[in-house]
Amino acid sequence: MTPRPSPASAAADWHRDLARAIRDPGQLLERLELPASLADHPAAKLFGVMVPESFLARMRPGDPHDPLLRQVLPDVREHDRVEGFTIDAVGDQAARRTPGLIHKYAGRALLVSTGSCAVHCRYCFRRHYPYGREPRRLDEWKPAIAALQADDSIREVILSGGDPLMLTDARLGELLDRLDAIPHLARLRIHTRLPIVLPSRVTPALCRRLQSGRLTPIVVVHANHPAEVVGDCVEALVGLVRSGLTVLNQAVLLAGVNDDADTLEALCSRLADTGVVAYYLHQLDRVAGAAHFETDESVGRALIAELERRLPGYAVPRYVREQSGESSKRRLV
Ligand SMILES: *Cc1c(COP(=O)(O)O)cnc(C)c1O
Ligand code: SF4
């Protein structure tokens, strides 16, 4: 039997994996045995490249259309100006109540816990988000914590970002302690892509901390393609599920990545096999630079209808789109 990693070495592992992530488009292409000319444009300057080794290892060498590569490789079309595609696609700024606090929907509010991520998804709706204005140090969270304390209609806090699991266990723990102490809060949601792209982040210590707080934890991960949900990623998801956490997935419908029934069926059944609930399939948020990922809503509706024919009801996600100013995400089916 291999000994369980000590907490210190488990933490060292993910910090090391993060430090080793690829940040150079040329290097990314070289590792995949693809021509450097594919990065012969400056789109990486619009939003830097970031790809952890674990995620890279799930791509097919020599395939420029690999669905995981498509999500992270800068594309010359990111420079296109397309009508309707804007910097603040979902009205985050109008819903910002204090630094770091976005409150749109009844009973739940979102904290922009950090500006960093372990992967840079080219279609990210927050790719232009002004993270520099948001809190970094614990004392800078005071206005957001005070606003949560003052509003007892809020029952659930969502840690988002960026990716909240980019915080160290110590920093995350301090923030969670503050939230645990607000009596009217009941639930804590963590929106994170790290279990998918940097599985070593899921340590026994992290699972324990999420379970041992006062708030009921819900972890929402983000995988778009079945080839993401393999190997160490499955181990991480099973680790979360077996430690008793509720784990949901949200995916984004992306042209050329997952806009066909076989791919979505494989994604949803793999999630179900792992004990992860398919929560949302998002229509793409219309953020500047991501127009080439957009799929028509009629295609999305047909895909959901097909999934319903092929899968148990619990394995079919809700197809939704976020519309600025609305009181919830809007169901499209
Ligand atoms: C998406 C989102 C939520 C969560 O919505 P659910 O439908 O509860 O998953 C909450 N706050 C903000 C600002 C959001 O964008
Ligand atoms: S992990 Fe999430 S927040 Fe980070 S770049 Fe990807 S979609 Fe955006």
Are residues 72 and 194 located together in one domain of the fold? Answer: no
Are residues 102 and 199 located together in one domain of the fold? Answer: yes
Mean pLDDT, the chain cut into blocks of 10 residues (333 residues total): 70 95 97 95 94 98 98 96 96 96 98 96 96 93 98 98 96 97 98 98 97 97 98 98 97 98 98 98 98 98 98 98 95 95
CA dihedral 119, 85, 101, 17 (to 10 degrees): 0
What is d(CA 20, CA 14) in angstroms, rounded to the nearest whole number?
10
Residue 179 forms part of a structural domain: yes
In the reported structure, the alpha carbon of residue 165 is separated from the centroid of ligand 2 by a whole-number distance in angstroms of 12
Residue 10 forms part of a structural domain: no
Tokens coding 136? 């970094």
Are residues 49 and 189 located together in one domain of the fold? Answer: no
Are residues 106 and 75 located together in one domain of the fold? Answer: no
CB of 292 sitting under 6 A from ligand 2: no
User: Which CATH number fits the domain that encloses residue 281?
Assistant: 3.20.20.70
Residue 43 forms part of a structural domain: yes
Number of domains making up the chain: 2
Are residues 48 and 196 located together in one domain of the fold? Answer: no
Residue 317 forms part of a structural domain: yes
Residue 62 forms part of a structural domain: yes
Residue 305 forms part of a structural domain: yes
Are residues 234 and 137 located together in one domain of the fold? Answer: yes
Tell which atom from ligand 1 comes closest to the C-alpha of 92: 13
What is d(CA 306, CA 281) in angstroms, rounded to the nearest whole number?
14
Are residues 191 and 277 located together in one domain of the fold? Answer: yes
Note the ligand closest to the C-alpha atom of 55. Answer: 2
CB of 111 sitting under 6 A from ligand 1: no
**pLDDT in the model for residue 8:** 80
CB of 47 sitting under 6 A from ligand 1: no
Which residue spans within 65-140 are E strands per DSSP?
96-98, 101-105, 108-112
Closest Cα to atom 3 of ligand 2: 162
What is d(CA 264, CA 283) in angstroms, rounded to the nearest whole number?
14
Domain range for 273 is 96-331
Tokens coding 215? 């708030």
Note the ligand closest to the C-alpha atom of 222. Answer: 2
**pLDDT in the model for residue 3:** 60
Tokens coding 111? 């904290």
Are residues 270 and 162 located together in one domain of the fold? Answer: yes
**pLDDT in the model for residue 202:** 98
In the reported structure, the alpha carbon of residue 101 is separated from the centroid of ligand 1 by a whole-number distance in angstroms of 12
CB of 254 sitting under 6 A from ligand 2: no
Residue 138 forms part of a structural domain: yes
Are residues 244 and 306 located together in one domain of the fold? Answer: yes
Residue 2 forms part of a structural domain: no
CB of 110 sitting under 6 A from ligand 1: yes
Closest Cα to atom 1 of ligand 2: 193
In the reported structure, the alpha carbon of residue 189 is separated from the centroid of ligand 1 by a whole-number distance in angstroms of 10
Query: The whole model's pTM is what?
Result: 0.97
Are residues 219 and 274 located together in one domain of the fold? Answer: yes
Tokens coding 29? 């292409």
Q: Which of 105, 111, 155 to mutate to test the pocket of ligand 1 (most atoms within 8 A of CB)?
A: 105
Q: HEC states along 285-331?
A: CCECCCHHHCCCHHHHHHHHHHHHHHCCHHHCCEEEECCCCCCCCEE
Are residues 141 and 275 located together in one domain of the fold? Answer: yes
Taking the CA atoms of the chain, what radius of gyration do you get in angstroms? Answer: 19
The region, left, alpha or beta by phi > 0 then psi within -120 to 50, assigned to residue 231 is left
Are residues 57 and 127 located together in one domain of the fold? Answer: no
The region, left, alpha or beta by phi > 0 then psi within -120 to 50, assigned to residue 256 is left
